[in-house]
Structure 1
Amino acid sequence: MADNVRRVAVISLGGTIAMTAQTDGSATPTLSADDLIAAVPGLADTGIQVEVRDFRRLPGASLSFSDLFELAATIETLEVNGVVVTQGTDTIEETAYLLDLVTTGDMPIVVTGAMRNASMAGADGPANVLAAIRTAASAEARGTGCVVVFGEEIHAARWVRKTHATSPMAFTSYPGPIGYVAEDRVRILARPDAAPTINRHSATTSVRTTVFTVGIGDDGTLLQALGDHVDGLVVAAFGAGHVPMACVDTLTDLAKRMPVILATRTGSGPVLRQTYGFPGSESDLLARGLISGSTLDPVKARILLQLLVMTGSDKDQIAQVFSTVS
């Protein structure tokens, strides 16, 4: 094989992109990685050599941390120019950010999927796979960290979010895509700062963290009950980091017992530090021991928190890592 041949590994985890309609009309994962690649028009014209691997055939909602750690280990063994992971869209943003945190090196790792299964009119899987393979094979994408490619847009793992339940353009990010694919060319417009690196090899899976989204009228009762069953908590707070006054005492207590991350339920923008001063404001909660999630949305903050707790980090170490997230 010539040295200039670009090689990409495509690893299939299942999800809508690998689903077909059954006799009862419901869709379930049935397509192999070979099936997915065979359905991509124009792939042979790219000159990219594709290596396919069936890794899982699961809905995105059923993937586990153990699955993703094993996936990261598999990626590390591959001698290719880039990797494409196909999976269910429900958890693409979580998979992408976890891989961003636990893998190292400049090789592009691209996560993609489909909103319409292969039996539907206008199935988007083949186009997404082709754009993802082009991105994974490109020199331009090296050093960008893990990315999500959808609708020919390239999104950084730490910013991307699924923001629509059914639209083929469900994936968006703030401040926007870092690049796109057009006329067979990968164009990178921005490069995010490197993510913290978490050593997954020391991780234990017997850890529970979760996200609690505050709402009008919350009085701390549910927070208190939840605190008895988790090792760490992300609070998806109002606005720039605010909660009802009735929750303050409970959060103060929980922050003494475990790491509690303060994030914004808006999904975009920063948690402030000193703009508001009322009980339950961001400055009040940070003074009570909560840790700022900075600009991480609650889902990403939970992934980072989970990995840090799994690898034995204490509260001070967790606060230090979160302080590096811009």
Structure 2
Amino acid sequence: MRKNLTVLATGGTIAGIAGSAIAPDYRSGEIGIDEYLEKVGGLGLEAELSGQQIANIDSADIGPAEWNQLYAAIMKAVADDACSGIIVTHGTDTLEETAFLLDLTVPADKPVVVVGAMRPADAVGYDGLRNFANAVRVASDAQAAGRGVLVVMGDRIFSARDVRKVRTRGSDAFRGFPRESIGLVTPSSLEWFGAPWCEGSAAAFGWCKDLPEVVIVYMHAAFSAGELLRHIGDDTRGVVIAGVGEGNMPEPVRQELVRIARRGIPVVRASRADEGLVDRETEDAENRFVAGRALNPQKARILLQLLVANGITDPAAIQSAFDGR
């Protein structure tokens, strides 16, 4: 039986045009959703697709205005009994952030699949059509529900919690941590690595139209407390440290962050390293710091924004939320 899927388009490389099959650069978000669905119509996909254009932009430009529209459209599709699943087309640069935000705020009742491409639509080796066909197969599968928001790239299925862009180019630009892919997919096959883990789960957080300001501060050799303070303004409600190693920082910076945390501004220690856990340190409780655990800085920021927006600012409560991700 053919499934009815809703496709929500936001732009990105998957809808990009270079003007030449071998051009070194391109323009993101040039193809509209109607044109794109007409293009994929000849693939013989076993689904009925209806599209809505949320935005048509480079994902570097995505923010609350687009997220608000996207969330509203997803929740409308979730409530529609005729809709079996939702696909979101998205640029790859911030794909993991949008996917994680939706994972925390959308119930796990229906498949929600985010998909992108690493090459524009008129480039040699355009991967967008295959990725999209794979996304259709995943969103059409009843076993995709109850797994949270999913990301499909390069024949692999990732959980939004785990997925991260690790390379600037190439079909293998995405990986997962701490779990690698949770399934493999082609346009004609689908294999899950395990059963759904959040069937019937409600959204972890209510939607917030105006997320509070949380800054990410990138640590490096010779980083100073003065540099730290230049990142923090009157509207800052949280700080995520992209720390060296296991969330570390120079001692003068640590001392300043302790003062900031004791003023009631949550401080999360994440790592600039690509993989690895940031565990609790003995001093974290006294310093009022939170260990980012498996979340990279950009995902730690999203989670902290939602926590603060919901009035959760106590370090122990924030740590519990990070431990549960």
Where 1:283 maps in the other structure, the secondary structure is: coil
Matched, 1:244 2:241: no
| CA-CA distance at 1:26 after TM superposition | 4.1
One-letter code aligned to 2:157: I
Q: What is aligned with 2:189?
A: 185
Residue aligned with 1:89, SS = coil
Q: Name the CA shift for 1:308/1:9 in 2 (closer, same or farther; >3 Å).
A: same
Give secondary structure in 1 for the equivalent of 2:282.
Answer: helix
2:313 & 2:28 partners in 1: Cα distance? Answer: 41
Kindly provide the CA deviation profile for residues 49-81 of structure 1, in whole angstroms up to 9, marking residues without a partner as x.
Answer: 111111111110111123213211211111211
Q: TM-score, normalised by structure 2?
A: 0.89
Q: Residue 60 of structure 1 corresponds to which residue in structure 2?
A: 59
Q: C-alpha separation between the residues in 2 aligned to 1:89 and 1:39?
A: 21
How many residue pairs were aligned? 311
The answer to whether the aligner puts 1:98 opposite 2:101 as a matched pair is yes
- Paired with 1:253 and 1:119, the residues of 2 have a C-alpha distance of 53
**Distance of 1:192 and 1:138 partners within structure 2:** 12
Q: Does 1:7 align with 2:4?
A: yes
Query: Alpha-carbon deviations, 1:154-181, whole Å to 9, x = none?
Result: 0110110011112122111123100011
- Indicate the RMSD between aligned Cα atoms, in angstroms: 2.2
Instruction: Give the C-alpha shift of residue 315 in structure 1.
Output: 2.6
- How big is the shift at 1:113? 0.9
Matched letter for residue 13 of structure 2? T
Map residues 213-292 of structure 1 onto 2, 5 A cutoff: 213-229=218-234, 230-257=236-263, 258-273=265-280, 282-292=281-291
| C-alpha distance in 2 between matches for 1:151 and 1:216 | 36
Specify the code of the residue in structure 1 equivalent to 2:89: T
Equivalent AA in structure 1 for residue 292 of structure 2:
G
CA distance in 2 between counterparts of 1:228 and 1:114 reads 36
In structure 2, the partner of 1:298 is 297
Residues of 1 paired with 2:195 and 2:154: CA distance?
19
2:132 and 2:174 mapped to 1: Cα distance?
A: 15
For 1:294 and 1:287, the matched residues in 2 are separated by 18
Aligned position for 2:31: 31
- The aligned amino acid for 2:165 is K
Distance 1:6 1:82 in 2: 8
Relative to the length of structure 1, the TM-score reads 0.88
Matched to 1:289, the amino acid is: R
Q: Which residue of 2 aligns with 1:89?
A: 92
- 1-structure distance, mates of 2:196, 2:274: 18
1:283 Cα deviation after fit: 2.8
- Counterparts of 2:186 and 2:90 in 1: how far apart (Å)? 23
Alpha-carbon distance, 1:308 to partner: 1.9
Q: Distance in 2 between matches of 1:69 and 1:191?
A: 31
Separation of aligned partners in 1, 2:293 and 2:30:
40
Q: Counterpart in 2 of 1:279?
A: none
What is the alpha-carbon distance in structure 1 between the residues aligned to residue 269 and residue 239 of structure 2?
Answer: 9
Per-residue CA deviations over 1:257-283 (Å, capped at 9, x if unaligned) read 20111112213221122xxxxxxxx33
